[in-house]
Amino acid sequence: MAAGLKSSTLELLKRFNRAFPEFYEQFVSSEIQLQNLRLAYRLYKSKRAVVEIKPEGSKSALHFAYRNQSFLLSDIFGVLAAYGLTIHSLSLYGQINPPMLVFIKLVVSRGSKTLTSKTAENVCRAIREALAGRFEVEEMLAVEFNLDAGLEQV
């Protein structure tokens, strides 16, 4: 467990970790556990998906927290594909007990470079809009790809 934390924070972290699968605390670093707790708190306060993109070296890190839903990953990956982003790594943590939250960290780039602040802002907005059902990811992808073509033509 994270050394140097207040006992109240440690107790909160232990309660939070109970919603994850067995061995979560054993295999996930304290830093990631605290990051997920912070994201959960932001989700609780805002009542909407937490989506943020920050530079991380020569790439960008997308941090995400939301309630688990069947369309979640397809919406996120659809938005990333529509923006032509490359995924370099994926970390996904899901709770198996209520409130059934999902925490994702994706390291992405466009052309092997970090995303511009405007692109990062647009990607975050597009993910939120897709999750809210205000537009279909398929419509966004249709601009980039001919979805009616056979797979070999795409």
Give the model confidence (pLDDT) of 25-73 as tens digits: 889 999 999 999 999 999 999 999 999 999 999 999 999 999 999 889 9
Give the integer Cα–Cα distance in Å for 120 and 26: 33
Check residue 58 and give its pLDDT.
Answer: 96
Give the DSSP per-residue string, 74-134.
HHHHHHHHHTTPEEEEEEEEE-SSTT-EEEEEEEEEBTTBPPPHHHHHHHHHHHHHHHTTS
Q: Between 151 and 18, whose confidence is greater?
A: 18
- pTM, rounded to two decimals: 0.83
Domain limits, the chain: 7-144
Fold for the domain defined by 7-144: Alpha-Beta Plaits (3.30.70)
**Cis amide leading into 99 (omega within 30):** yes
In this prediction, residue 154 has a pLDDT band, given cuts at 50, 70 and 90, of very low
Closest to 96 (Cα-Cα) out of 17, 5, 2: 17
Q: Are 51 and 75 in contact (CB under 8 A)?
A: no
pLDDT tens digit sequence for 18-38: 999 988 888 999 999 999 999
Question: What pLDDT is attached to residue 150?
Answer: 57
Buried b (16+ CB within 10 A) or exposed e, 83-100: bebeeeeeeebebeeeee
pLDDT at 144: 55
141 vs 80: CA distance, rounded Å:
10
Average pLDDT, the chain: 88
